[in-house]
Amino acid sequence: MLNYNFLRNNERAFLATTSLTVFEFEILLIAFAEAFAETAHRTVTNEVRFRKKGGGQRGKLPSLEAKLLFILSYVKNYPLQSYHGLQFGLSQPNTCRQIHNLLPKLKRALEILGCQPDRTAADFAERLRNQVERGELVQDAVERMRERPQDVETQKLYYSGKKNAYGEEFDNWRG
């Protein structure tokens, strides 16, 4: 069974499970706790709570860390609910309930941190413009394979210098 205490000591497994480092997880956990506090006076069906929160049986995801680990693991991997439930000791119906309960809280936590993606092109362009003005813009790209031109001069024009497959190092190796 997956649990936070085991994974936080294994950075590689934690990253593979959640796509976050332990430090990033703990920052998100603060916002996640705030999102939970906003709805503490409501039940799961969004009705006003009459009794104190915490009454009843303790669930399989007792802590906020366990809940956040559960929903991040689900969002990263999107496994079948029955399989995901097995990893956390839940049945498929309970897994479904937890997913529907925790996804809005994760969304709210990301809003609190300002990490929500832009939904329109105009919003995205405005955010990029603001980042450029503040000097915060970082461009990230991935080199992709392309068909190799047959002309030697054209090959040199398109060679990035990053890979040995195309370029002088490769040509020298071939002899």
Q: How far is CA 105 from CA 25, 66, 149, 163, 169, in A?
A: 15, 14, 51, 44, 52
* Sign of the alpha-carbon dihedral angle for 63, 65, 71, 73: negative
Structure tokens at 8: 């936080």
The fraction of the chain above a pLDDT of 70, given in percent, is 81
List, for residues 16-38, the tens digit of each pLDDT value: 999 899 999 999 999 999 998 88
- Per the CB < 8 A criterion, the answer to whether 18 and 77 are in contact is no
pLDDT (average), residues 75-85: 92
Residue 35, helix vs strand vs coil: helix
User: Residue 175's pLDDT is what?
Assistant: 47
Tally of residues, the chain: 175
Higher pLDDT, 167 or 67: 67
Q: How far is CA 80 from CA 16, 91, 107, in A?
A: 18, 12, 21
Read off the pTM. 0.67
Q: Residue holding tokens 């920052």?
A: 27
Across 26-35, 50-59, 107-116, 127-136, the highest mean pLDDT is recorded for: 26-35
The fraction of the chain above a pLDDT of 90, given in percent, is 36
- Per the CB < 8 A criterion, the answer to whether 7 and 1 are in contact is no
User: Residue 130's pLDDT is what?
Assistant: 87
* pLDDT above 70: residue 85: yes
List, for residues 97-118, the tens digit of each pLDDT value: 999 999 999 999 999 998 877 7
